């Protein structure tokens, strides 16, 4: 039996980022080799890259796709992108699996779609948990993380990080193989 401390935060938000980074550092010391971190502007990504760069692990930073906020808008700050790449950490900015095409169709035709149902179901565990699942699949789809390995994922609600979980990775094509193994931190509200 594995006995771990689980952190529950009183609320969502960036004030939990440092505690989540502390959890990542402990996971690396425990021997975890694969890490995926969500970062909209790159601020959280820079912190994670500085913490884990050069530690003989595989870290991927995942941002929103260009155009997520609007036509041709890249929310990821260029200086953060350069800082992360300088540390030897890849940044992936791709389509959010439970969002883009079906959200567009659902808005246009006033309905729902299967991926929106999945997204809203995952949100019952918190926005950060939903994002942890998405970013692990995105990193696998991009070939940056292998399938079937334990991945420590860190994400949040809007800005910063407030959720850390361990998942068994899967490609989006094999979504039903994605498994949440452990939840190490999440907001209660």
Instruction: For residue range 99-143, list pLDDT tens digits in order.
Output: 555 555 556 556 666 777 677 777 778 889 999 999 999 999 999
Average pLDDT over residues 149-159: 93
pLDDT at 69: 80
| Cα gap 98→140, rounded to integer Å | 15
pLDDT at 186: 93
pLDDT at 99: 53
Selection from 186, 148, 185 nearest residue 167 by Cα = 148
Average pLDDT over residues 158-174: 92
Q: Is pLDDT of 30 > 70?
A: yes
Selection from 82, 80, 43, 38 nearest residue 61 by Cα = 38
| Cα gap 98→15, rounded to integer Å | 26
The confidence band for 1, taking pLDDT boundaries of 50, 70 and 90, is low
Distances (CA, A) of 178 to 18, 58, 71, 172, 186: 27, 19, 31, 8, 19
pLDDT at 113: 66
pLDDT at 7: 85
pLDDT at 65: 81
3 state DSSP class of 63: strand
Radius of gyration of the chain (CA): 16
Q: Is pLDDT of 179 > 60?
A: yes
Choose which CATH entry (3.30.750.24, 3.40.1380.20, 3.30.390.50, 3.40.50.360) describes domain 7-187.
3.40.1380.20
- Percent of the chain predicted with pLDDT > 70: 87
Average pLDDT over residues 166-174: 94
Average pLDDT over residues 32-38: 97
Average pLDDT over residues 59-72: 88
Average pLDDT over residues 40-62: 95
How do the domains of the chain map onto residue ranges?
7-187
pTM, two decimal places: 0.89
Q: Which residues contact 184 (CB under 8 A, 6 or more apart)?
A: 4, 5, 6, 7, 23, 27, 152, 164, 165, 166
């Amino acid at each position: 039996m594995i006995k771990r401390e689980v952190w529950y935060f009183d609320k969502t938000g960036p004030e939990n980022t440092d505690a989540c980074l502390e959890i990542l550092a402990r996971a690396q010391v425990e021997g975890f080799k694969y890490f995926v971190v969500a970062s909209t502007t790159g601020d959280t990504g820079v912190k994670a890259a500085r913490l884990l760069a050069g530690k003989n692990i595989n870290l991927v930073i995942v941002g929103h796709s260009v155009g997520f906020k609007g036509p041709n808008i890249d929310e990821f700050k260029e200086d953060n992108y350069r800082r992360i790449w300088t540390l030897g950490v890849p940044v992936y900015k791709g389509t959010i699996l439970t969002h883009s095409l079906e959200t567009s169709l659902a808005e246009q035709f006033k309905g729902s779609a299967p991926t929106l149902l999945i997204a809203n179901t995952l949100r019952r565990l918190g926005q950060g948990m939903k994002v942890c699942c998405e970013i692990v699949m995105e990193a696998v789809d991009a070939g940056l993380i292998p399938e079937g390995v334990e991945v420590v994922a860190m994400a949040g609600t809007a800005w910063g990080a407030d959720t850390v979980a361990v998942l068994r990775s899967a490609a989006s094509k094999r979504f039903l193989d994605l498994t949440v193994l452990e939840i190490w931190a999440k907001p209660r509200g």
